[in-house]
Amino acid sequence: MLTGEIRSQINKLRDALWSGGVSNPLTGVEQITYLLFIKRLDEIQTREEAKAQALKRPIARRIFPEGRDDIQSPNFRKDPHTGEGEDGCPYELMRWSRFKNETPECMYEIVDQHVMPFLRTLGGSESIMAGHMKGARLAFTKPALLDKLVQGLDEIPMDDRDTKGDVYEYLLSMISSAGENGQFRTPRHIIDLIVRMMDPKPTDTVCDPAAGTAGFLMMAAEYVRETYAKELLQDANRQHFETKAFTGFDFDETMLRIGAMNMMLHGIEEPRIEYRDSLAEGGGEDTGHYSLILANPPFAGSLDNESCAKDLLKVVNTKKTELLFLALFLRLLTTGGRAAVIVPDGVLFGSSKAHKAMRQTLVEDHRLEAVISLPSGVFRPYAGVSTAILIFTKTGRGGTDHVWFYDMQADGWSLDDKRNPLLDESLLGPAPARALGADEHAKNNLPDVLARWNDATGAEHQRPRTAQSFYVPKDEIVAAGYDLAINRYKEVVHAEVTHDAPKDIIRELRELEGEIAMRLAALEEMLA
């Protein structure tokens, strides 16, 4: 958990970027991502050097080669008159621990003209992360700003994995606008709820085809690491966890860099975050490969059918991306694989042929397990769209018997653009420090959602339709045209209101009128 001091230090970095001309929060996070990556490379080499020294053998993995690069810059070129000096910057000087001690002007020259090109040419290394740095460049020209960022990041204690991850997550929280394709950052407490409900195992192969900042993958990795620590001691499970367990796709290169760094800072050294338009033709090599999908796909509206994968259009013939992503999830899942995904409310009750066909597919051909309605303000300030969580299992032969509905009315934060916390930090999220009281539950429904979900075979089946959660049998859903809107099945109890008889109301009005006339007459006498 971040202290107030660390938050203040990060806020200073944000303010420095703003005053330095980097006003776009996404660009600001991207710039800090580059610097964190540079710092991480230095940490890896320092670790390898210490290991080599302890074992009395050569360095097994060298990030920064010996010698110099071949790039000439003002301070790293031969003097044309005397021939003194050497061309190129020493790789050793490109390390964070070295250039941070240089003057702002020299530091800027090293980072801008040498380190950034170095990152862009790291594609031939073993690091997958390096591939995301091909477009790396500084978005500002002020040496003083770079110096402030480097010194600021260097002062923030990031010695352990948890702190590194928390720092980066706090940075990501500054991204407060939706992308051009309708993508926006999913609140971390909502991701935490979904991950806990799905309970990923060390043997699961998790995928997010619209990874963005990799929030779902990061939180799934943290959950597995904390919940199944003993199982991860087994070599097979550990190797799977570190190499194959988590996969993310996105077609926004900035998000790829940010998402990969997010995973890296949370302990996944070689994150499999790849460039891919998930809905486009040619992505079928992963068909039936994943056991768990966690996603909040973009709701961009319409897609050009010509660019969309034909096998997805066979499942649901539409241009709506939210429906096409559902078809994609079914394609990517192995038989028996599970999915928990966020969809706009229109998916639940849309009247088009494609909407009905998609819902029918989930109910009849697979096992639809739950529909959890989210508060309409949960994605503010990005968007005010109403959404829900769909949970289903790919079977290929049906299996839906009852569907669990939950009407979430509060998530612990205000539902306006400010999104201020309504409870103490320890009482937020799906796993608060203690059980919540009735008043606290009214402000945070997440622990109740998780508790009732885990009691799916118990008292939940006995709850009435007037409750916050209840089960609906498949037959009733079919009879309703596969409508999945919770209001279709929820019973609302209206309190009986008793009114006075009209004659009594008229009598009271005449009495009041008479009293007013009498007091007016008394007032006139006083003024006479």
| pLDDT above 70: percentage of residues in the chain | 92
Q: Are residues 343 and 229 in the same domain?
A: yes
Host domain of residue 369: 179-407+462-488
Answer yes or no: is 475 within a domain: yes
493-503 pLDDT, tens digit each: 666 677 788 88
Give the pLDDT mean for 316-345: 91
Answer yes or no: is 528 within a domain: no
Residue 469, strand partner residues: 406
Q: Is 180 helix (H, G, I), strand (E, B) or coil?
A: coil
CA neighbor of 370 nearest in space, from 477, 462, 275, 274: 477
Residue 246 confidence (pLDDT) above 70: yes
Q: Are residues 281 and 350 in the same domain?
A: yes
Domain boundary among 169, 188, 222: 169
Range from 300-309, 384-393, 412-421 carrying the lowest mean pLDDT: 300-309
Tokens of 232: 């991860």
Q: Are residues 227 and 130 in the same domain?
A: no
Q: Are residues 99 and 238 in the same domain?
A: no
The pLDDT score that the predictor gives to residue 81 is 75
Residue 508 confidence (pLDDT) above 80: yes
Q: Are residues 38 and 111 in the same domain?
A: yes
Q: Are residues 23 and 146 in the same domain?
A: yes
**In terms of DSSP bridges, do strands 290-295 and 402-407 run parallel, antiparallel, or are they unpaired?**
unpaired
| pLDDT above 90: percentage of residues in the chain | 50
Domain boundary among 144, 169, 194: 169
Domain boundary among 151, 169, 187: 169
194-236 pLDDT, tens digit each: 999 999 999 999 999 999 889 999 999 999 999 999 999 999 9
Q: Are residues 158 and 193 in the same domain?
A: no
Measured N-to-C along each axis, helices 253-265 and 25-55 cross at an angle, to the nearest 10 degrees, of: 40
Answer yes or no: is 338 within a domain: yes
Residue 182 confidence class, pLDDT cut points 50, 70, 90: very low
Side chain identity, residue 332: L
Give the pLDDT mean for 505-515: 90
Q: Are residues 164 and 32 in the same domain?
A: yes
DSSP code at position 280 = B
Q: Are residues 106 and 11 in the same domain?
A: yes
Q: Are residues 361 and 234 in the same domain?
A: yes
Q: Tell me the pLDDT of the chain averaged across its residues.
A: 87
- Spell out the long-range contacts of 113-117 with Cβ–Cβ below 8 A and sequence spacing 24 or more: 113/71, 113/73, 113/89, 114/69, 114/71, 114/73, 114/76, 114/89, 115/38, 116/34, 117/69, 117/71
Answer yes or no: is 414 within a domain: no
The pLDDT score that the predictor gives to residue 411 is 95
Answer yes or no: is 100 within a domain: yes
Give the pLDDT mean for 407-412: 95
Check residues 459 and 97 and name the one with the higher pLDDT.
97
Residue 483 confidence (pLDDT) above 70: yes
Contacts of 116 (CB under 8 A, 6+ apart): 34, 136, 137, 138
The pLDDT score that the predictor gives to residue 277 is 78
Specify the number of domains making up the chain.
2
125-158 pLDDT, tens digit each: 555 666 677 778 999 999 999 999 999 999 887 7
CATH classification of the domain holding 190: 3.40.50.150
Answer yes or no: is 512 within a domain: no
Q: Are residues 153 and 263 in the same domain?
A: no
Residue 99 confidence (pLDDT) above 90: yes
Answer yes or no: is 427 within a domain: no
Measured N-to-C along each axis, helices 25-55 and 161-172 cross at an angle, to the nearest 10 degrees, of: 170
**Using DSSP, how many helices (H) and how many strands (E) does the chain show?**
20, 9
Q: Are residues 158 and 231 in the same domain?
A: no
Answer yes or no: is 502 within a domain: no
The pLDDT score that the predictor gives to residue 370 is 96
